[in-house]
């Protein structure tokens, strides 16, 4: 006898309860390639093509490079990013787009279970994927409202600590407002927060400053993780290439749960 066809999600008994309740993230529409001239703004892609040297490097790829798996630790990429940012390769991790780094951080630092501490803290409003990832992981989510000027409130860290958050995600420059927080404010947040502060710098290539100085050894901040991506500033969204910068102990933990 064949199985009876299930027509609704409620008839699917295999999914976890939190996935049954999940409102999935809806990415921006991607028109088919060759669909005609468009001015496309909905996913914030760079309107300019990649650098000529990048395009030539892609053209030079050989078949053997595609048929084999790449180096599992992306060691050459880590070394290149380390040189670019004045870090060591063990302070860099490469991921399948910046979004994978977000998921790795949730997996590594946040407790599943749906209630109690050990969860994720976010500013509100912010990147709409953050709450979706928290629900997928079934970890508690704490939202802290931004001020009328989109500034982080003075008690941001305290409220996350009171909720027992293990990880906080802050977009910088902020999306959707574009606001830049003073570095002193973000450093104070990191020092007061009793978890990992992930600063999402997806748009940092368009900003007058970044948060790289927070990783200076003299600051002794071992709980700061910076997210970077080649999608926006480098016009390489189609490659899905992101990376994280942080203390080597943070990177080592992320490496444990990396795909």
* pLDDT digit string, tens, across residues 144-177: 999 999 999 999 999 999 999 999 999 999 988 9
Phi, psi torsion values for 219, nearest 5 degrees? -80, -20
Locate 99 and state its tokens.
């979004």
- Residue 4 clears pLDDT 60, i.e. is over it: no
Is-cis flag, bond preceding 230, omega within 30? no
pTM of the model: 0.89
C-alpha closest to that of 168 among 188, 190, 146, 184:
190
Q: Distance between CA 45 and CA 233 in Å, rounded?
A: 9
Which CATH code for domain 73-257?
3.40.640.10
Q: Distance between CA 174 and CA 161 in Å, rounded?
A: 22
Locate 181 and state its tokens.
């927080």
Residue with more model confidence, 39 or 219: 219
pLDDT on residue 179: 93
Phi, psi torsion values for 20, nearest 5 degrees? -60, -35
pLDDT band at 114 (very low <50, low <70, confident <90, very high): low
| Alpha-carbon 91 to chain mean position | 16
pLDDT band at 2 (very low <50, low <70, confident <90, very high): low
Place of tokens 């000027």: 149
Q: Distance between CA 95 and CA 87 in Å, rounded?
A: 18
**Biggest alpha carbon distance in the chain?**
69
Q: Which of 28-42, 133-147, 221-235 has the lowest mean pLDDT?
A: 28-42
Q: Distance between CA 124 and CA 152 in Å, rounded?
A: 9
Phi, psi torsion values for 77, nearest 5 degrees? -65, -40
Q: Distance between CA 15 and CA 219 in Å, rounded?
A: 45
Q: Which of 34-43, 77-86, 199-208, 246-255 has the lowest mean pLDDT?
A: 34-43
- Residue 103 clears pLDDT 90, i.e. is over it: yes
Q: Distance between CA 242 and CA 257 in Å, rounded?
A: 16
Q: Distance between CA 257 and CA 107 in Å, rounded?
A: 7
The string of pLDDT tens digits covering residues 190-218 is 999 999 999 999 999 999 999 999 999 99
């Amino acid at each position: 006898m064949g199985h009876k066809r299930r027509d609704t999600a409620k008839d699917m008994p295999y999914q976890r309860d939190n996935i049954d309740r999940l409102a999935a993230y809806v990415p921006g529409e991607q028109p088919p390639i060759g669909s005609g001239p468009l001015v496309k703004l909905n996913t914030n892609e760079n309107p300019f093509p990649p650098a000529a040297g990048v395009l030539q490097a892609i053209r030079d790829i050989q078949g053997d490079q595609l048929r084999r798996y790449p180096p599992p630790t992306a060691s050459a990429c880590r070394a290149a990013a380390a040189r670019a940012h004045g870090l060591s390769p063990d302070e860099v991790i490469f991921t399948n787009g910046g979004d994978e780094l977000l998921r790795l951080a949730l997996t590594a630092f946040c407790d599943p279970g749906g209630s109690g501490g050990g969860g994720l803290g976010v500013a509100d409003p912010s990147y709409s994927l953050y709450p979706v990832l928290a629900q997928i992981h079934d970890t508690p989510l704490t939202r802290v409202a931004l001020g009328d000027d989109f500034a982080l409130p003075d008690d941001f860290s305290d409220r996350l600590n009171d909720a027992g958050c293990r990880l906080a995600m802050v977009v910088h420059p902020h999306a959707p407002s574009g606001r830049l927080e003073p570095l002193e404010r973000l450093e104070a947040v990191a020092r007061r927060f009793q978890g990992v502060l992930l600063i999402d710098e997806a748009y940092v290539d368009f900003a007058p400053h970044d948060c790289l100085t927070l990783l200076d050894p003299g600051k002794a901040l071992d709980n700061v993780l910076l997210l970077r991506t080649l999608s926006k500033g480098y016009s390489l969204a189609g490659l899905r290439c992101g990376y994280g910068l942080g203390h080597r102990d943070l990177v080592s933990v992320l490496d444990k749960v990396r795909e």
